[in-house]
Amino acid sequence: MSDPIRRAGSPTPPLGDGDPLSPPPGLLELFWVFTKIGLMSFGGALSTWIHREVSVNRRWMTETEVLSGLALAQIMPGINVVNLSLFVGQRLRGVAGAFAGAMGILAAPSVIVVCISLVYDQFSHYAWLGDLLNGIAAAAIGMLIHMGVKATQRSARSWPLLLVVAGIFVGVGILKLHMVIVVALLGPVSIWLSYRNIMRERLAREESGHA
Amino acid sequence: MRNDLLWALFVMFVPLSLLSVGGGVSIIAALHHQTVETFGWLTEQQFVEVFAISRAAPGPGSMIVPLIGWKVAGLAGAAIASVAMFLPSSILVYGVAKLWNRYRGTPVHAAFERGLAAVAAGLILAGTLAIFQAAGTGWLAWIVAGGSAAILYWRNINPLWLLFGGGGLYALVMHFMK
């Protein structure tokens, strides 16, 4: 009907839990909506666009449902945005919907990235183009530094968890051990530490409740 | 020979797919390690180019995956890399999505959420280091990277401005230095 960018500023609130939903879309429409989201987003805010498009503009799912899907998409392995597209597609149209959503978000950008690379190869003898790309890489590295710092601030809630972050950084980044081994070893430790913290927080809350 | 390449791509991406908590950035260290150091498919400079192009292109932050496949083995390589990277995790997510709501609000659910967030943070930092080492650490790269991190820390601006602003500045300074 319209593109997500132009409608993003629309004052319509997201769907609440009891609000009436629109009927689920056809597979082609699902594919097309996710294709547009994929093509119009740069540098990551895709999850925000999906949330807005699905629960505000098109009223396919409630906000609670989309946000719970986002949490799932973030903790599961795989690319977060792909996971979220899959989740939305599945809720709306089952297996075929999941496929349509994931293909929508991946297909067109994949073709474009290969085309950009082909064009670059044609002109790579211009030194300034190589410099431009090195500069883009440096700016992108800056974005990763920012992302890493934020993620560490959010997740290292106790010093043992900070040690987990540091351990993975040293193991994968500095010692260059195989990522599979490092995550398989430290992942369960991290989940166990978090579980212990959560149970302690619960106990503290209950005790203060009794006092 | 060609089939060997495709098979090697497949075998490289499947485990990464199942362990890539935190999304596209979390696999960069492993990708660099394997494509440049273990297999020698790409040079350091090529890896940096692939990384830069994939970050500047539209779409999810994972577009480095089909691009590496393309560089290694053409169209079939891009297809195999994408299938190997996206399919295993997708099947897992599809299965778990059905269980997800049942465990909402339980301590186990929260523990997974917090525990894996720490793993993702470590992987993102490792990926940053890997790509920084590959890009070489000229003073100008330090300035552009530090500047873009600082700008993002204090201001929420469109990453596209940052990427092409940084790229333009870098190319301009290099031009006048030569």
Question: Cβ of B114 and A42 within 8 Å?
Answer: no
Both B67 and B79 in one domain: the answer is yes
Closest to A71 (Cβ–Cβ): which among B71, B113, B129?
B113
State whether B113 and B162 are in the same domain: no
Most confident of A26-30, A64-68, A152-156: A26-30
Shortest CA distance from A200: residue in chain B: B107
Chain B CB contacts of A140 below 8 Å? 51-52, 55-56, 131, 148, 163
* CB interface of A with B, residues 121-150, below 8 Å: 127-149
Whether the per-residue pLDDT at A4 is higher than 50: the answer is: no
Alpha-carbon distance A208 to A38, whole Å?
A: 48
pLDDT score at B39: 94
Q: Are residues B11 and B97 in the same domain?
A: yes
Q: Count A/B contacts: CB-CB distance under 8 Å.
A: 373
Contact B15 A180 (CB under 8 A): yes
One domain, residues B89 and B170? no
Asked if A190 contacts B115 with a C-beta cutoff of 8 angstroms, the reply is yes
**A173 vs B144: CB contact, 8 Å cut-off?**
no
- Distance to chain B for A211, nearest Cα, Å: 23
Same-domain check for residues B115 and B48:
yes
- Chain B closest-CA separation from residue A12 CA (Å): 23
**Do residues B96 and B160 share a domain?**
no
Q: Do B122 and B99 share a domain, yes or no? A: yes
Tell me which of B61 and A58 has the higher pLDDT: A58
Find the DSSP H helices in B20-138.
28-32, 44-56, 64-100, 107-135
Domain check: are B125 and B147 in the same one?
no
Q: Do A178 and B30 touch (CB under 8 A)?
A: yes
Are B25 and A191 an interchain contact pair (Cβ–Cβ within 8 Å)?
A: no
CA distance, residue B1 to nearest chain A CA (Å): 23
Residue in chain B closest to A191 (alpha carbons) equals B115
- Tracing tokens 């929508």 back to the chain, one arrives at A104
> How many degrees, rounded to 5, is the angle at CA A154 between CA A151 and CA A160?
100
Residue B166 sits in which domain range?
A: 137-178
Do B87 and B7 share a domain, yes or no? yes
Going from the C-alpha of A133 to that of each of A10, A64, B28, B32, the distances in angstroms are 36, 41, 18, 17
pLDDT for position A57: 86
Q: Stretch A10-24: mean pLDDT, rounded?
A: 68
What confidence tens digit (pLDDT) does each residue in A91-141 have?
899 899 999 999 999 999 999 999 999 999 998 888 888 889 889 989 989
Last residue of a domain, one of B120, B136, B152: B136
Examine the pLDDT at B90 and tell me if it is beyond 80: yes
Residues B20 and B66 in one domain: yes
pLDDT band at A63; cut points 50, 70, 90: confident
The 10s digit of each residue's pLDDT in B112-149 is: 888 888 888 898 899 888 888 888 768 898 999 999 99
Judgement on whether residues B21 and B96 belong to the same structural domain of the protein: yes
- Please give the tally of structural domains in chain B: 2
**Mean pLDDT (whole number) for A42-61:** 79
For residue A83, CA distances in Å to A6, A35, B107, B168 come to 25, 15, 23, 34
Is the pTM higher than 0.90?
A: no
Min Cα distance B124 → chain A (Å) is 5
Structural Rg of chain B based on CA atoms: 18
pLDDT level of residue B108 (50, 70, 90 thresholds): confident
Q: State the best of B62, B87, B106, B155 to mutate against chain A, taking most chain A CBs within 10 Å.
A: B62
Given a cut of 80, whether residue A48 has pLDDT beyond it is no
Output the 3-class SS for B125-151.
HHHHHHHHHHHCCCHHHHHHHHHHHHH
B122 and B50 fall within a common domain: yes
List the structure tokens of B144.
């552009």
pLDDT in tens, B3-52: 899 999 999 999 999 988 877 788 998 999 999 999 999 999 999 999 99
A198 in contact with B, Cβ within 8 Å? yes
Contact A187 B115 (CB under 8 A): yes
- Does residue A106 sit at the B interface (CB-CB below 8 Å)? yes
At A45, the pLDDT band (50, 70, 90 cuts) reads low
CB contact under 8 A, B152 and A87: no
Average pLDDT value over all residues in chain A: 84
Closest chain A C-alpha to B77 CA, distance in angstroms: 12
